[in-house]
Structure 1
Amino acid sequence: MAGENLEVVRRIYRAFAQGDIPAVLGAMSPDIVWNEAENFLYADGNPYRGPDAVLKGVFKRLGEEWDGFSADAEELLDAGEVVVALGRYRGTYKKTGAKLDAQFTHVWRLNGGKAVGFQQYTDTLQAARAAEAA
């Protein structure tokens, strides 16, 4: 039905905002293929395959390295099996105290009510500068 995939993605962002990582991971297919933007801090594991790889390679690092990290989806675009999220990342890199306030675009691919693909696009330079600030 129309809008079901949009609602799945909406619930993912809501769960992430509430810190409910098990719910976020539960919305992923066991064989999800997750890609961080080229040159992003966590692109070193691309592609992450499966929720456990996303947890260890992305979410765990976000929690360890950032204070108040958020991914605020300001607009969701429904294209059937693809949902595009437009929003902003915000947070403070713990080691440097530098703040991040960067645009993002996320392209989600869904099948059977589960996320099977994720592609991030963002300002990788701003994130790198936050991590390297003196």
Structure 2
Amino acid sequence: MRIILMMIGLVGLAACSSPSSDQTAGSEARALVEQVYAGFAAGDMDAVTGAMATDIVWNEAEGNPYADNNPYVGPETVLTGLFARLGGEWDGFAAMPQEYVTQGGRVIVFGRYSGTYKATGKSMDAPFAHAWTVEDGKIVAFQQYTDTAEHAAVMSD
């Protein structure tokens, strides 16, 4: 009987506290991820890396030419190993979010990449899905999903 009462209490506690704390965490996580996209669009890399945990694990999609250094661990590695390459190799590279889906500290973003690869002069318009994980107000993980064939085609002669 005691076990049944304890389980009823736990279920009741979860039902009462979980949705609102999940919504709060989701709202905060989404706001942080939105700040990252805004910072990236503005070229404010301090804002972008400032949102990351010191031990963030960042993964580009398998097959993406920039997956060669996966996983990128830590904000400085993401900045110098990935973002600096994007900035140096592309004109007008942009990641434009179109839809956000949140659940707790998980934020999934659907959007499109655009830009012109300098070495080939070819332009890209490719869909993406980004999976962000936020804990304690910082981004701890990122996983990219995209049309890697489109990336490779634009980047090759």
Which residue of structure 2 lines up, in the alignment, with residue 76 of structure 1? 100
> What residue identity is the alignment partner of 1:61?
R
- TM-score, length basis structure 1: 0.97
Corresponding residue pairs, total? 133
Which 4+ runs in 1 deviate beyond 4 A?
none
1:1-134 matches, within 5 Å, as: 1-2=24-25, 3-133=27-157
Deviation at 1:56, TM superposition (A): 1.3
CA deviation profile, 1:94-133 (whole Å, cap 9, x unmatched) = 0100001000000000101100000000000111011103
- Aligned residue identity for 1:21: M
Identify unmatched segments of 5+ residues in structure 1.
none
Unmatched 5+ stretches in structure 2: 1-23
TM-aligned CA deviation for residue 47 of structure 1: 0.6
> Distance between the aligned counterparts of 1:114 and 1:82, measured in 2?
12
Q: 2 CA distance for matches of 1:57 and 1:73? A: 23
Q: What are the Cα deviations for residues 7-29 of structure 1, in whole angstroms up to 9, with x where unaligned?
A: 00011101111111110000000
Of Structure 1 and Structure 2, the greater strand share is in: 1
Aligned-pair identity (%): 53
Structure label with greater radius of gyration: 2
State the distance in 2 between where 1:20 and 1:56 align. Answer: 14
SS in structure 1 at match of 2:65: coil
CA-CA distance at 1:36 after TM superposition: 0.3
1 CA distance for matches of 2:141 and 2:115? 25
> Structure 1 residue 41: deviation in Å?
1.3
User: Would you tell me which structure has more helix in proportion to its own residues?
Assistant: 2
> What do residues 14-55 of structure 1 show as CA deviations (whole Å, max 9, x unaligned)?
111111111000000000000000010110110110001101
User: Secondary structure in 1 aligned to 2:64?
Assistant: coil
